[in-house]
Amino acid sequence: MITTKQTSKEYFREGKIVFYALAVSQLFFGLIAFLLVYSKTIAPPEPALQNSILIIVTLFAAGGFVGSNFVFNRKLKALKTKLELKERMADYRSALMIRYALLEAPVMLAIILYFLTCDILFLGLAALIVAYFLTLTPTRERAIKDLELSNKEQEQINDPNAVIAEISTIV
């Protein structure tokens, strides 16, 4: 196992790279599906299936939204009890990744179902979730607020050269 120390600058830069990569992949996938459906290369299925599929994907999307917030808040509550800022920041990153994954899954499902059914409602639902996803950009301010950091910890977070996390990876 390799442990890498990350400065505040590196930590938030890396978090934003992952965040924007996820956002762009969702948008790009949606755009490709839209262009394929728009070019009429796909024949729409039976209309009777669309209503039941719409209900299922809406429930899945709501579950992703509620689940992402529920799991994130539970993880936040658990990591606030840790004393070391480095440990909290590493766990905070994990909590964010889980939150993002729980939001990305319904987006991908909605886009796939849009592709299969040619029903624009699915693409609209995906767009709504992506819009919410984009409000969750990882920033120093958000981390300070989410983790309820002390003034000393806030100074560390705001110092681009301060080591704020130790990330362990398995080789």
Considering only residues 168 and 152, tell me which one the structure prediction assigns the higher pLDDT.
152
Name 169's bridge partners.
2
pLDDT over threshold 70, residue 43 = no
Considering only residues 20 and 51, tell me which one the structure prediction assigns the higher pLDDT.
20
The model carries a pTM of 0.89
Residue 153 pLDDT level (bands cut at 50, 70, 90): very high
Residue 52 pLDDT level (bands cut at 50, 70, 90): confident
pLDDT over threshold 80, residue 49 = no
The span from the CA of 70 to the CA of 41, in Å, is 40
The span from the CA of 68 to the CA of 106, in Å, is 11
- Which domain does 118 fall in, by range? 2-169
In this predicted model, what pLDDT tens digit does every residue of 106-145 receive, in sequence order?
999 999 999 888 889 999 999 999 999 999 999 999 999 9
φ/ψ region of 28 (left if φ > 0, alpha if ψ in -120 to 50, else beta) reads alpha
The span from the CA of 76 to the CA of 80, in Å, is 6
Residue type, 79: L
pLDDT confidence of residue 149: 92
pLDDT confidence of residue 133: 97
**Planar angle of CA 6, 169, 12, nearest 5 degrees:** 30
Residue 27 pLDDT level (bands cut at 50, 70, 90): very high
> What is the number of structural domains in the chain?
1
**Planar angle of CA 132, 16, 155, nearest 5 degrees:** 105
